Amino acid sequence: MEILDGKLVAQAVKEKLKKETEQRAKNGKKIPHLAAVLIGNNGASETYVASKVKSCSEIGFKSTLIRLSEDISESQLLNKLNELNEDFDVDGILVQLPLPKHISEEKIIETIFPSKDVDGFHPESVGRMVQGLPTFYPATPYGILLLLEHYKIETKGKHAVVIGRSNIVGRPISIMLSKNEYPGNCTVTVCHSHTPNLKEICLQADIIIAALGKPEFLKADMVKPGSVVVDVGITRIEDSTKKSGFTIKGDVDFQAVSPKCSYITPVPGGVGPMTIAALMMNTFKACLAKDLA
Amino acid sequence: MEILDGKLVAQAVKEKLKKETEQRAKNGKKIPHLAAVLIGNNGASETYVASKVKSCSEIGFKSTLIRLSEDISESQLLNKLNELNEDFDVDGILVQLPLPKHISEEKIIETIFPSKDVDGFHPESVGRMVQGLPTFYPATPYGILLLLEHYKIETKGKHAVVIGRSNIVGRPISIMLSKNEYPGNCTVTVCHSHTPNLKEICLQADIIIAALGKPEFLKADMVKPGSVVVDVGITRIEDSTKKSGFTIKGDVDFQAVSPKCSYITPVPGGVGPMTIAALMMNTFKACLAKDLA
């Protein structure tokens, strides 16, 4: 069993981007610039945005953190996003979700120019991904592909079972893994809460993507020996023994499942860091696209 | 075994739309208007466009057929589409594919306003479909859903196997059947040319959507007794005994497969007429959306 080490691969991706960014600077080219919008002060959101900003500075990207108060109106936020859309120096825009209830997530996402939509959440980005046109892949599934690619895991003709059909992970990764390119060309089965025979289907899988958000859901008796298991879950569980007061659990019972796998991602240190690496890749590509424009 | 009679159901859909359109006329409301653009004189395209225009007239929709010569330039075509975009009276625009080689299909499709994209091919329409937002579903998979709905076929918790991953049928129907609504909530497996064990997977299916474009590909030994089989294939095979010089074959070996099925679509008379009915539904909805705007 080999660990799919997201920390290590994310670091490798970031170092590659760092070198390319230094080269751009030397050649007098534009440096990638990510604008992150954080509304209110949700603990998890603070952590995510902080590590995105930190990654930018490690790589040498510019970043702008825009903090807005919880009670900002929808139209004020839309104005802010339009400003960022029009700002030539900003390559990528991300609005950390979730949003306060009085703001429409749909409206916010659709306001960001698809050319700056480095989260890959705009319907146009999603549609282009489905159709195989150049676009930004959503960060988490893109991070999973980068991870499989780094470990040169064969995907062609393999049976991938995706548990979960969310817009941000399950649905897009199921589409990406069945595309006619590497990593892809899998036979893909999408399972969800209405799948009656999940265990039976998982036992057929060469690759399992667990993205349902139920801690330690995937058990050893659901996994075929030699399979590749990617754990997308990150649920915070109260834990008084930890300084933070919580511990992070994935969707896979790692202790029991890992001995059966050829490859498996740990939680934390698997998909999580790859999500940020993928976001950095998207930001770099958004900047690159301006060279060509 | 019961036939999923696309001719019959398409007729029922059209009659419903006809009544609603008459009602709209009585109430002084706008009548749906479809603009169809036909370039060159490909035989199959002529036939498809003619039946779309005929359906409009049967229902009482307005239709405009715009015939353009094979050698029209891309920019002339784009201008024409922009005119149609700006024409308030036009609710739906369709450009019959395929296009001459010197014209970019991508550019043409993306020029049509998503609000008039009754073919559901614009990336924004596709992305909104993936994300479960209101949009136009592409006509063929939408027609399949209407057919399953008409026969009240249970889909929740069923295993649907989709053979083929094309942008216009396989991919969208796989997404639609796994959505959290009726018809949907299937466990969905997407198979394609790189699936090594297709027969084994098909034998698990409660519902098979054959959309690969290979005449009589699906054989009796690939089908579980009692399954629902939907045949999307329409390949023209030379046939000197026919007046037209060809006969139409589906992707399913109907003679051998049909006795094993609970329901099956014939070819012709199955998915084909439903595609047009679905296009009419989309055109009606495009018009309806203007009432609300």
Tokens of B104: 């970019």
User: Whole-angstrom Cα distance, residue A12 to residue A10?
Assistant: 5
Positive or negative: CA dihedral B271, B272, B274, B279: positive
Per residue in B160-169, pLDDT (tens digit) is: 999 999 999 9
- B22 vs A96: CA distance, rounded Å: 49
Rounded-to-integer distance, Cα A273 and Cα B126, Å: 29
Checking if the pLDDT of B189 tops 80, the result is yes
User: Which residue of chain A comes nearest to B122, CA vs CA?
Assistant: A127
Mapping DSSP onto H, E and C, the string for A16-62 reads: HHHHHHHHHHHCCCCCCEEEEEEECCCHHHHHHHHHHHHHHHHHCCE
Is B130:B175 a contact under the CB 8 Å cutoff?
Answer: yes
pLDDT at B20: 98
Could you tell me the pLDDT band of residue B28, with boundaries at 50, 70 and 90? very high
The pLDDT, as a whole number, for residue B16 is: 98
What integer pLDDT is reported at residue B43 of this predicted model? 86
**Interchain pair B191, A189: CB under 8 A:** no
Pairing of strands B187-191, A187-191: antiparallel
Compute CA B34 distance to the chain's CA centroid, rounded to the nearest angstrom.
16
Token pair 């170092």 is found at A15
Q: What is the pTM of this model?
A: 0.96
pLDDT for position A130: 96
Query: What's the burial of B87, exposed, middle or buried (CB within 10 Å: 0-12/13-18/19+)?
Result: middle
Q: Which of B14, B52, B62, B116 is catalytic?
A: B52
The predicted pLDDT at position B44 comes to 86
Q: Do B127 and A132 lie within an 8 Å CB cutoff?
A: no
Q: Which residues of A are known to be catalytic?
A: 52, 96, 119
Query: What is the rounded CA–CA span in Å between residue A4 and residue B201?
Result: 29
B52 is known as an active-site residue:
yes
Residues of B in contact with A196 (CB under 8 A): 157
Which of B122, B133, B197 faces A106 most closely, judged by CB atoms? B133
Find the mean pLDDT for residues B16-39. 97
Indicate the pLDDT class of residue B114, thresholds 50, 70 and 90.
very high
| Both tokens assigned to A192 | 């969800």
Q: Which residue of A has its CA nearest to B191?
A: A187
Radius of gyration for chain B, computed over Cα atoms and rounded to the nearest angstrom = 19
pLDDT at B152: 98
Of A130, A157, A201, the CB nearest to B194: A157
d(CA B218, CA B231): 9
Confidence of residue B244 (pLDDT cuts 50, 70, 90): confident
Which of A130, A185, A189 lies nearest to residue B130, judging by beta carbons?
A: A130
Whose tokens are 């994209």? That residue is B117
pLDDT digits (tens), chain A, 293 positions: 999 999 999 999 999 999 999 999 999 999 999 999 999 988 889 999 999 999 999 999 999 999 999 999 999 999 999 999 999 999 999 999 999 999 999 999 999 999 999 999 999 999 999 999 999 999 999 999 999 999 999 999 999 999 999 999 999 999 999 999 999 999 999 999 999 999 999 999 999 999 999 999 999 999 999 999 999 999 988 999 999 888 999 999 999 999 999 999 999 999 999 999 999 999 999 999 998 77
d(CA B48, CA B8): 18
Interface contact flag, A192 B190, Cβ < 8 Å: no
Long-range contacts of residues A233-239, Cβ cutoff 8 Å, at least 24 apart: A233/A267, A234/A267, A234/A268, A234/A271, A234/A272, A236/A44
Domains A28-113 and A139-272 alike in fold: yes
Does CATH number 3.10.129.10 belong to domain A28-113? no
Q: Report DSSP state, residue A261.
A: -
Q: Where are the domains of chain A?
A: 28-113, 139-272
Distance from CA of B124 to the nearest CA of A (A): 4
> Residue B124: its chain A contacts at CB < 8 A?
123-124, 127
Q: pLDDT tier at B273 (50, 70, 90 boundaries)?
A: very high
Contact between A127 and B132 using a beta-carbon 8 Å cutoff: no
For A165, the closest of B126, B165, B178 (CB atoms) is B178
Q: What is the ipTM for the molecules in this complex?
A: 0.95
- Phi, psi values for residue A219, rounded to 5°: -105, 165
- What integer pLDDT is reported at residue A124 of this predicted model? 97
Per annotation, catalytic residue among B91, B117, B119, B251: B119
Which string of DSSP letters, residue by residue, matches A73-105? -HHHHHHHHHHHHH-TT--EEEEPSSPPTTS-H
- What is the assigned CATH class of domain B29-113? alpha beta
Residue B119: active-site member: yes
User: In 3D, which of A92, A97, A164 has the Cα closest to residue A125?
Assistant: A92
**Vertex B264: Cα angle to B235 and B283 (nearest 5):** 70
pLDDT score recorded for residue A123:
97
Mutate to test the interface with A, among B126, B179, B201, B212 (most CBs of A within 10 A): B126
CATH 3.30.1960.10 describes domain A139-272: no
Nearest CA in chain B to A166: B131
Asked whether residue B293 carries a pLDDT value surpassing 80, the answer given is no
CA distance B285 to chain A (A): 20
Using CB atoms, pick whichever of B126, B132, B189 lies closest to residue A131: B126
Nearest to B140 by CA among B99, B104, B94: B94
Inter-chain Cβ pairs, chain A and chain B, closer than 8 A: 108
